[in-house]
Amino acid sequence: MGSTALTVSPLTGGADELRARVRGRRVLLVFAHADCPTSALALRQLGAVEAAEPEILVVAEESPEDAARLALRARLRAPVLAQSPPYTASVELGVEAVPTAVLLDRGGIERERLVGWDRDGYERLLGVRLAGEGPDRKPGCGSRAVEPPAAGGLDEPEDMFERGFTDGLPVVPPTPERVDAMLAGRDPDDSLGTVPPAHGEATLRRVAACAVLAGCRPEYFPVVTAAVGAVLEPGFNAHGIGVTTQPAGVVAIVNGPARERLGLNSGMGALGPGSRANLTIGRALRLVLTLTGGAQPGRLDRSTLGSPLKIGLCLAEAEERSPWEPLHVERALAEGQSAVTVLAADAPLSVSDHRSRTPEELADVIAQAAAATWSPYWWPMDDETLIVVCPEHADTFAGHGWSKERVRTAIFEAACRPAGELRRGETTELVRAAADDVPVHKWTDPGRILLMVAGGDAGRYSAVFGPCDGMGTAAITREISWTT
């Protein structure tokens, strides 16, 4: 705001009252409203102007309260007049679009008018250079005197699109009040580290802003911060994931009491859609990587095709429905702890098997599906594959007394072919050098296969998340803390 206090006054009359207020001064009237991204652009550019001749006077087609919010967002130093319906001054001055700039001389006579955003025009009228970022020209929006106001005021998603604060879907604007609610008293300047590839600082304030943008509730924030901390560990290699031409995204898996506490879905439709907690936590994590880390598609993110996972995916394990130890317990945490595991992966491949009645058959079906992921002939892979086993498939294994380790080993052994059958297209040096009859497994060892249970009780559909190769990335598990 600089040293000049913001002043917002109501404008109750029409053009005559407006002219009377500015008579004897040269004034540039700037008509704007909060539902117009071009108005926001113009006001942000003008907000940095300390003093100008002519003077700047903003006429906001808003209530005084909303006009003040609009001015604060733009960091305006210029005074603001707030006009309410029926927007008489706009009607009488023929303002059909915003932003519209009207230059009045000292006698209140109009000398020039700009409609929409025109950087050169504003610089010429004001005699200053405008240093803000953004386009030099941009069409405006309908005046409230012509078009009825859209619902939402400054929460209008179009403004977020214009600022680039989005993943391509509408977002919730991160107002200071919403960010403070998300932080819930945490120190906003605490940092989780820098986010590759652009190495923006992941302060809690920025992470909270991304959680607000994603639509998270404040109680989800501990999961978001734990997930962000996990992807920032060197072993995850967020830099490689952020810039590669691969389609890999991030899967976040929640275990422990947090699942029930937050209402995370581990049952029917666990991979989406429908659950706010699942979808917004996954999206918040991705927005941190995109907005703070700079991994934006077509810029630093060079993914050839991209993936739905680049919007975000979070799911919970159906621990109560699983016959085995939960994923986080396998990974050295206690069953009563809450944890999130992050994994770089390709989009899920559905595996339908309604006919297998023995665990051997079922393990083979899942193995053949998993063997086709990444590249059908690129064997072996020293990377992790996540397999989400549906409850009915888990029952088949458990009904025959198979442990999770036995299932993992059976899948590993079933995904094995002679080297002579793998010499097509993209293959490995190991395969090229091996004799035709040498057996080659899809993975370097069974430990590269991660198993978890999720999904509805009806339907024998499991899923395989293909691995991300060449990045040296590993799954990372972190405890979820409820106090930091």
In a domain? residue 1: no
Same domain, 126 and 170: no
Same domain, 421 and 378: yes
The rounded average pLDDT for each run of 10 residues, N- to C-terminus, in the chain (484 residues) is 66 92 93 89 86 89 90 87 93 94 94 94 92 83 74 58 86 90 95 95 96 97 98 96 94 97 96 95 97 91 93 97 98 96 97 97 98 95 97 98 98 98 95 97 97 97 95 95 69
In a domain? residue 285: yes
Same domain, 18 and 63: yes
Same domain, 252 and 213: yes
Maximum distance among all alpha carbons in the chain? Answer: 96
In a domain? residue 100: yes
Same domain, 186 and 272: yes
In a domain? residue 476: no
Helices (H), 215-337: 221-231, 238-243, 258-262, 276-287, 327-330
Same domain, 333 and 364: no
Same domain, 239 and 107: no
Same domain, 212 and 271: yes
Query: Of the residues 113, 135, 155, which one is the last residue of a structural domain?
Result: 155
Helices (H), 112-246: 119-126, 157-163, 176-183, 204-214, 221-231, 238-243
Same domain, 171 and 303: yes
**Environment class of 363 (CB within 10 Å of its CB; exposed 0-12, middle 13-18, buried 19+):** buried
Task: Name the 3-class secondary structure at 15.
Answer: helix
Contact 255, 174 (CB under 8 A): no
In a domain? residue 342: no
Question: Given this model, what pLDDT does residue 484 score?
Answer: 45
Question: Is it true that the peptide bond before 196 is cis, omega within 30 degrees of 0?
Answer: no
- For the chain, the domain total comes to 3
In a domain? residue 175: yes
CATH of the domain at 120: 3.40.30.10
Question: CA-CA distances (angstroms) from residue 37 to 7, 42, 74, 116?
Answer: 22, 9, 12, 11
Computed over every residue of the chain, the mean pLDDT equals: 92
Same domain, 173 and 261: yes
Same domain, 59 and 170: no
In a domain? residue 482: no
Question: Is it true that the peptide bond before 197 is cis, omega within 30 degrees of 0?
Answer: yes
Distance (Å, whole) CA 265 – CA 370: 24
Question: Given this model, what pLDDT does residue 194 score?
Answer: 96
Range of the domain at 430: 347-467
Same domain, 169 and 309: yes
Question: CA-CA distances (angstroms) from residue 295 to 195, 228, 254, 469?
Answer: 9, 14, 24, 19
Question: Given this model, what pLDDT does residue 141 score?
Answer: 87
In a domain? residue 472: no
Distance (Å, whole) CA 30 – CA 411: 68
Query: Of the residues 155, 182, 217, which one is the last residue of a structural domain?
Result: 155
Q: What is the DSSP string of 80-96?
A: EEE--TT-HHHHHTT--
User: What percent of the chain is predicted at pLDDT more than 90?
Assistant: 80
Residue 191's beta-bridge partner residues?
203
Query: Of the residues 121, 155, 189, which one is the last residue of a structural domain?
Result: 155
Question: Given this model, what pLDDT does residue 368 score?
Answer: 98
Residue 396, Ramachandran bin (φ over 0: left; ψ between -120 and 50: alpha; else beta): alpha
Alpha-carbon torsion, ordered 378, 381, 386, 388, to 10 deg: 50
Question: Given this model, what pLDDT does residue 132 score?
Answer: 74
